[in-house]
């Protein structure tokens, strides 16, 4: 029940009228129901009583006409009787409003009336049936006009429900974005993270039950992993104390490796044992490096906290000194104001006494 206005070039209009016209071209306008006609259908037929009365009157008229055919008075009476019969037949119709398909098939007469909301007649059509008098047509029009408000009320109610449904759809579309669950990003588990190059090679060798993969590979040509680069950068920024601790840790690992070499000689023939030992040594080295890095980070954090505390102490002392100086200055300013007030009072009193003495002398 909506439409769009066509695009029209309007150069002679004012700016305000042109803006209104552009808005109307974009927006959907509701159809006007003021001049929209509605069709009302009626079906009718002659009643049984009226048909019987008409037949009796026709038979009586025929008998009277045969008996008094020679007289002129008989002709006048016959004409009057025929007019009365027609009026009775026309006035006695059975009308059905809004007939069904079965009623339209049974009843011989059909009439269609199209009216606007203001009661204006747009169409009056009689398709079949016996003739109707103006009085009968007036009855049909009155019945259609009485049912006009009810029919248009049904139309307006349907439009209102349609608009409410559209508003509900808009609200649901606006709320649907908040009803959906938000996306959650989770980190992969620890065992799925990338391992260092040496540990990965040892683990792969242990899985394959063969020689290590790094046996025939030039280690210097392989780029170091990101984890090893971070360790090297942190070791460069460490203090001499941490460097000494690192050297001690490496010495302990070297001693452990030297102690493990004699015991590993008998099992050199077994490649699986060699791979397992290499994996254990790599894991131990990684654990030692992780512990060392954790201790280094803790020491750095402690040093930073101590430096911050040391920097905050002189700042607090300076603030206290500034507050004391401000208090002293305020006290001095108050004293100066009091002295000025006292001096002004003394000068006023001295001038007043001098004037009084002069007045006494003048009087004397």
* pLDDT tens digit sequence for 1-22: 444 555 555 455 556 666 665 5
Is 38:113 a contact under the CB 8 Å cutoff? no
Q: Rounded to 5 degrees, what are φ and ψ at 191?
A: -75, -15
Give the H or E element holding residue 127: strand 121-128
- Does this model's pTM top 0.85? My answer is no
List the CATH code of the domain at 33-173: 3.30.230.70
Is 197:286 a contact under the CB 8 Å cutoff? no
Q: Give the pair of three-digit tokens for residue 155.
A: 């139309």
At residue 81, the 3 state secondary structure works out as helix
What is the residue extent of each domain of the chain?
A: 1-31, 33-173, 227-323
Q: Give the pair of three-digit tokens for residue 258.
A: 């030297």
Task: Give a three-class secondary structure readout of 70-117.
Answer: CCHHHHHHHHHHHHHHHHHHHHCEEEEECCCHHHHHHCCEEEEEEECC
Contacts of 131 (CB under 8 A, 6+ apart): 90
**Confidence label for 132 from pLDDT (cuts 50, 70 and 90):** confident
pLDDT reported for residue 144: 92
* CA atoms of 100 and 85, how far apart (whole Å): 31
pLDDT at position 104 over 80:
yes
Contacts of 36 (CB under 8 A, 6+ apart): 116, 117
* Mean pLDDT for the stretch of residues 212-218: 47
| Helices and strands (DSSP H and E) totals, the chain | 10, 6
Instruction: Kindly report, residue by residue over 270-307, the tens digit of the pLDDT.
Output: 445 566 677 777 777 777 777 878 888 888 888 888 88
* CA atoms of 264 and 75, how far apart (whole Å): 151
* CA atoms of 197 and 180, how far apart (whole Å): 43
* Mean pLDDT for the stretch of residues 74-82: 70
Contacts of 281 (CB under 8 A, 6+ apart): 257, 260
pLDDT at position 187 over 60:
yes
**Confidence label for 255 from pLDDT (cuts 50, 70 and 90):** low
At residue 3, the 3 state secondary structure works out as strand
């Amino acid at each position: 029940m909506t439409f769009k206005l066509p695009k029209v070039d309007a150069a002679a209009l004012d700016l305000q009228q042109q803006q209104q016209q552009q808005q109307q071209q974009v927006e959907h306008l509701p159809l006007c129901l003021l001049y929209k006609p509605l069709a009302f259908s009626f079906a009718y037929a002659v009643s049984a009583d009226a048909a019987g009365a008409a037949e009796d009157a026709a038979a009586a008229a025929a008998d009277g006409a045969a008996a008094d055919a020679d007289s002129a008075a008989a002709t006048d009476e016959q004409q009057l009787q025929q007019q009365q019969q027609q009026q009775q037949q026309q006035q006695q119709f059975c009308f059905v409003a809004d007939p069904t398909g079965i009623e339209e098939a049974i009843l011989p007469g059909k009439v269609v009336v199209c009216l606007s909301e203001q009661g204006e007649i747009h169409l009056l059509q009689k398709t079949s049936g016996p003739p109707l008098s103006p009085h009968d047509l007036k009855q049909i029009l009155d019945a259609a006009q009485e049912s006009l408000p009810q029919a248009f009320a049904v139309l307006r109610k349907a439009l209102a429900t349609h608009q409410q449904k559209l508003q509900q759809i808009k609200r649901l579309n606006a709320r649907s974005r908040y009803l959906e669950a938000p996306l959650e990003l989770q980190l992969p588990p620890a065992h799925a993270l990338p391992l260092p190059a040496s540990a990965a090679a040892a683990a792969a060798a242990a899985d394959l039950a063969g020689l290590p993969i790094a046996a025939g590979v030039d280690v210097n040509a392989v780029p170091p992993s990101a984890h090893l680069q971070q360790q090297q950068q942190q070791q460069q920024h460490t203090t001499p104390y941490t460097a000494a601790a690192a050297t001690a840790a490496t010495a302990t690992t070297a001693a452990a490796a030297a102690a493990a070499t004699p015991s590993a000689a008998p099992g050199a023939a077994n490649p699986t044992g060699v791979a397992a030992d290499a994996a254990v040594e790599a894991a131990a080295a990684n654990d030692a490096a992780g512990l060392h890095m954790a201790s280094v980070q803790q020491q750095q954090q402690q040093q930073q906290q101590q430096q911050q505390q040391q920097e905050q102490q002189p700042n607090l002392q300076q603030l206290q000194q500034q507050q004391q100086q401000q208090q002293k200055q305020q006290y001095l300013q108050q004293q100066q104001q009091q002295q000025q007030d006292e001096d002004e009072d003394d000068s006023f009193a001295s001038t007043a006494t001098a004037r009084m003495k002069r007045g006494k002398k003048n009087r004397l």
